[in-house]
């Protein structure tokens, strides 16, 4: 493995069923990813429910760029860059709040939450200066799908609709599990700082080969039957939606068992208020189907992971550092099930959670392994010869197959070569 500053030939590093370790550890590649992926494609930023009222704001990021997701004084959702146009100071240092203006801490220039410069401190000395062109930077394109807010720094390119493609079905599936058809993501985020390249997380979210081993201990102590989902005889699938979006489709197993809320380790009897609300919203037959299928397990490229009962957001910090933001899925107006969703989230991915700690250990070991020179190629061939197309034309395989990983790298190669 040699690391040079020459132009990088990505096609020499990414083959259909193997990738080179250099892709995870090279700082130059990370910089190119910021430009060609994070500053170009659609990136998930946050959810409209995080800014429910006029003048609410919350600080977020797109790749390595800090942004403000806010609902302005007129009620419009906006994505503004968190940088003062005077001398570049971080404009807003608070995590979230409610305000119609932002005043920079450095020299006190003040901006409206529509982004316009309203006034400067000690204005004498700025005789004749126009406020035009001195407003906050904006994310050029903003798109919202069922409350999920995405931004793109590219002025042109595929629409959000085109980018999401078939993966929209996963967001629909998730929202349909809410009696109101909407999420309410205000449980707060846990942040897990991980000393590993972001792509190890991207790949692992839909890696169905590892759960039986990495999570073997949690399956044992909680005496769940989750391990069967990832066993040889499972009917669960891996799916490549294209555009880097991938998933496990566990519905085959849930339909075989045919019990509402079994996917959640619960039952209709344990969640009567939720079941009633679902039946009222969708009618008994459709509600039953939704509650049997459950929520999806889908990784929307590059950073939104719908993990059945959690929403993960990946934030790349450096070539060897990533923050995983995670919050519990919460359904609008469904307090009974929401409580249990929060409890299960804490138990699995909280600070002392039993699931994410195991994965994170794997990410950091993977990253250390990427530095080892020999062998430099990593193998992604599992199930390559048994891939097939589903009824919608998407590639699927057995739940333990590396269909998602091959799909992710195919899309990555396309973006990095553009």
Least distance in Å: CB of 59 to ligand FES?
16
Choices 5-13, 120-128, 353-361, 363-371 (CB under 5 A): range interacting with Fe ion: 353-361
Query: What H or E segment, with its residue span, contains residue 277?
Result: helix 272-282
Q: Which does 268 bind (CB under 5 to 8 A by kind): Fe ion, ligand FES, none?
A: none
Angle at 237 between CA 231 and CA 239, to 5 degrees: 140
Q: Which does 186 bind (CB under 5 to 8 A by kind): Fe ion, ligand FES, none?
A: none
* 109 contacts ligand FES (rule: CB under 6 A): yes
DSSP 8-class letter at 297 = E
| CA dist., res. 281 & res. 413, Å (int) | 43
Question: Among 246, 224, 229, 201, which residue's Cα sits nearest to residue 400?
Answer: 229
Q: Which does 359 bind (CB under 5 to 8 A by kind): Fe ion, ligand FES, none?
A: Fe ion
Choices 8-16, 106-114, 186-194, 270-278 (CB under 6 A): range interacting with ligand FES: 106-114
Structure tokens at 302: 């590059």
Choices 6-14, 17-25, 257-265, 351-359 (CB under 5 A): range interacting with Fe ion: 351-359
Least distance in Å: CB of 104 to ligand FES?
3
Least distance in Å: CB of 125 to ligand FES?
13
Q: Which does 107 bind (CB under 5 to 8 A by kind): Fe ion, ligand FES, none?
A: ligand FES
Cβ atoms 388, 395 nearer than 8 A: yes
| CA dist., res. 33 & res. 18, Å (int) | 19
Helix extents (H) in 76-206: 160-164, 168-176, 198-204
Structure tokens at 341: 């969703």
| CA dist., res. 416 & res. 200, Å (int) | 17
Site for ligand FES in 248-277 (CB under 6 A): none
Choices 120-128, 245-253, 265-273, 356-364 (CB under 5 A): range interacting with Fe ion: 356-364
* 81 contacts ligand FES (rule: CB under 6 A): no
Least distance in Å: CB of 130 to ligand FES?
17
* 359 contacts Fe ion (rule: CB under 5 A): yes
3-class SS of residue 66: strand
Site map (CB under 6 A) of ligand FES, residues 39-78, x = contact: ----------------------------------------
* 308 contacts Fe ion (rule: CB under 5 A): no
Site for ligand FES in 82-101 (CB under 6 A): 84, 86-87, 89
Dihedral of the CA atoms 145, 307, 293, 220 (nearest 10)? -170
- Contacts of 259 by beta carbon, 8 Å cutoff, 6+ apart: 267, 268, 292
Question: Among 68, 10, 31, 1, which residue's Cα sits nearest to residue 416?
Answer: 10
Which positions lie near Fe ion, rule CB under 5 A? 359
Which positions lie near ligand FES, rule CB under 6 A? 84, 86-87, 89, 104, 106-107, 109
């Amino acid at each position: 493995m040699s690391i040079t500053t020459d132009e990088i030939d990505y096609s020499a590093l990414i083959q259909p069923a193997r990738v080179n370790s250099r892709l995870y550890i090279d700082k130059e590649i990370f910089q190119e990813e910021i430009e060609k992926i994070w500053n170009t494609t659609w990136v998930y930023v946050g959810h409209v429910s995080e800014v429910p009222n006029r003048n609410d704001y919350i600080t977020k990021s797109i790749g390595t760029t800090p942004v403000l997701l806010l609902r302005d004084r007129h009620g419009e959702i906006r994505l503004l860059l968190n940088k003062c146009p005077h001398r570049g100071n971080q404009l807003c240092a608070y995590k979230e709040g409610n305000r119609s203006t932002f005043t920079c801490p450095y020299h006190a220039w003040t901006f409206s939450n529509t982004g316009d410069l309203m006034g400067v401190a000690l204005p004498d000395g700025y005789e004749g200066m126009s406020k035009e062109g001195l407003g906050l930077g904006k994310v050029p394109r903003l798109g919202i799908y069922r409350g999920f807010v995405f931004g793109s720094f590219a002025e042109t390119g595929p629409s959000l609709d085109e980018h999401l493609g078939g993966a929209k079905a996963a967001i629909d599936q998730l929202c349909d599990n809410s009696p109101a058809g909407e999420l309410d993501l205000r449980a707060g985020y846990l942040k897990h700082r991980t000393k590993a390249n972001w792509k190890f997380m991207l790949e692992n979210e839909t890696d169905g080969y590892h759960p039986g081993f990495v999570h073997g201990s949690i399956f044992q102590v909680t005496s769940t039957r989750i391990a069967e989902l990832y066993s040889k005889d499972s009917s669960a699938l891996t799916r490549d939606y294209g555009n880097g979006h991938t998933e496990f489709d566990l519905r085959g197993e849930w339909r075989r068992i045919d019990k509402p809320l079994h996917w959640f380790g619960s039952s209709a009897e344990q969640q009567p208020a939720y079941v009633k609300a679902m039946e009222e919203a969708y009618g008994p037959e459709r509600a039953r189907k939704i509650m049997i299928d459950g929520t999806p397990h889908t990784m929307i490229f590059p950073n939104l992971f719908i993990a059945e009962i959690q929403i993960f957001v990946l934030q790349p910090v450096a070539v060897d550092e990533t923050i995983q933001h995670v919050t519990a899925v919460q359904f609008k107006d469904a307090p009974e099930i929401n409580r249990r969703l929060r409890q299960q989230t804490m138990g699995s991915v909280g600070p002392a959670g039993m699931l994410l700690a195991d994965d994170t250990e794997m990410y950091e070991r993977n990253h250390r392994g990427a530095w080892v020179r020999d062998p430099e190629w990593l193998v992604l061939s599992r199930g390559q010869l048994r891939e097939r197309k589903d009824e919608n034309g998407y590639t699927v395989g057995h739940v333990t197959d590396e269909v998602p990983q091959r799909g992710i790298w195919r899309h990555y190669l396309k973006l990095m070569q553009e």
